[in-house]
Amino acid sequence: MQALPAEFEQFHWMVDIVQHVDTGLIVVDTDFNVHLWNGFMVHHSGKQSFDVMGKSLFELFPEIDEGWFRAKSKPVLNLGCRSFLIWRQRPYLFRCRNVRPITQQVEFMYQNVSLNPMRTVTGEIKHMFIAVEDATAEALAEKNI
């Protein structure tokens, strides 16, 4: 078998990491259409990648207040600043089921979320990267549940 170029192997590793990391990874364009939906999001949201790709985040998750989220994303997409959502402000961005056995006493996953600009090689911002971390254990500990 012929050896693959190192760049291809590294790319393959990056794709594997994105799919298996214990953080939700989503990429949306400036119209909030989904371009990346990793394994964490598949597992926790119950929505398959092929069902969400190219679709509006607001269509997929009607519980997201579109006006609020667009306003929260504006500095990210227009100025290239990062933005953060913590579970104390809003319990979650994406209503995902809680699947951790130790914290099953709640019906949804508490989340900390970061919104990050994604620049093209020319410096334009055409996409936003959303990272979702499960903060359920932290929230329950703080609430003494």
Report angle CA 23, 130, 22 to the nearest 5 degrees: 5
Q: What is the DSSP code string of 91-142?
A: S-SS--B---GGGTTSSB--EEEEEEEEE-TTS-EEEEEEEEEE-HHHHHHH
Looking at the domain assignment, is residue 15 inside a domain? Answer: yes
Note the pLDDT of residue 9. Answer: 62
Looking at the domain assignment, is residue 106 inside a domain? Answer: yes
Q: What is the DSSP letter of 22?
A: S
Note the pLDDT of residue 53. Answer: 97
pLDDT lower than 70: segments of the chain: 1, 4, 6, 8-21, 100-104, 145
Note the pLDDT of residue 31. Answer: 97
With DSSP H G I counted as helix, E B as strand and the rest as coil, what are the percentages for the chain, rounded to 5?
A: 40, 25, 35
99 is in which domain, residue-wise?
A: 6-143
pTM to 2 decimals? Answer: 0.85
- Can you give the CATH number for the domain in which 123 is found? 3.30.450.20
Max Cα distance, the chain (Å)? 57
Note the pLDDT of residue 12. Answer: 45
Looking at the domain assignment, is residue 1 inside a domain? Answer: no
**Count of the separate structural domains present in the chain:** 1
Q: 2 φ, ψ to 5°?
A: -75, 140
How far apart are alpha carbons 127 and 31 in whole angstroms? 9
Cβ atoms of 129 and 116 within 8 Å: the answer is: yes
Pair type for strands 111-119 and 34-37: unpaired
Looking at the domain assignment, is residue 42 inside a domain? Answer: yes
